[in-house]
Amino acid sequence: MHLRLLLRFLLLALGFALSTHGMLGWQEIHFDMSRMWTWGEDIGLHPVFIMIFGLALIPPTLWEIFILEISRDDDSDTPTS
């Protein structure tokens, strides 16, 4: 149970780190959208894609943490024999 929570919190931290990294990278190129779809000489991900991936990790990870917490509370309410 504790390992599952640890992994979920690590995924949550990864989501926040990627979204922050994407926002800072996008700010560094002055919020330019022109290089977003070019794959010529500069091969790499645009910071917007990194930010989107980080933001996409956050809601499902939070949902999993809430589900684990609810199931832990339900298990503690039942008497053991």
> What is the per-residue pLDDT across 53-78, written as a single tens digit (0 to 9) for each?
999 999 999 999 999 888 877 777 66
pTM above threshold 0.85: no
Number of domains in the chain: 1
Residue 42, token pair as written in the block: 């500069």
* Residue 80 domain-assigned (yes or no): no
* Residue 76 domain-assigned (yes or no): no
> Residue 59 is part of which domain span?
2-37+45-70
* Residue 77 domain-assigned (yes or no): no
Cα distance between residue 50 and residue 18, in whole Å: 6
- Region for residue 30 given its phi and psi (left: phi exceeds 0; alpha: psi -120 to 50; beta: otherwise): left
Model confidence at 22: pLDDT above 70? yes
pLDDT value for 77 = 62
**23 pLDDT tier (thresholds 50, 70, 90):** very high
Q: DSSP letters of 7-76?
A: HHHHHHHHHHHHHHHHHHHHHHTTT--TTSS--SS--S--HHHHHHHHHHHHHHHHHHHHHHHHHHHHHH
* Residue 19 domain-assigned (yes or no): yes
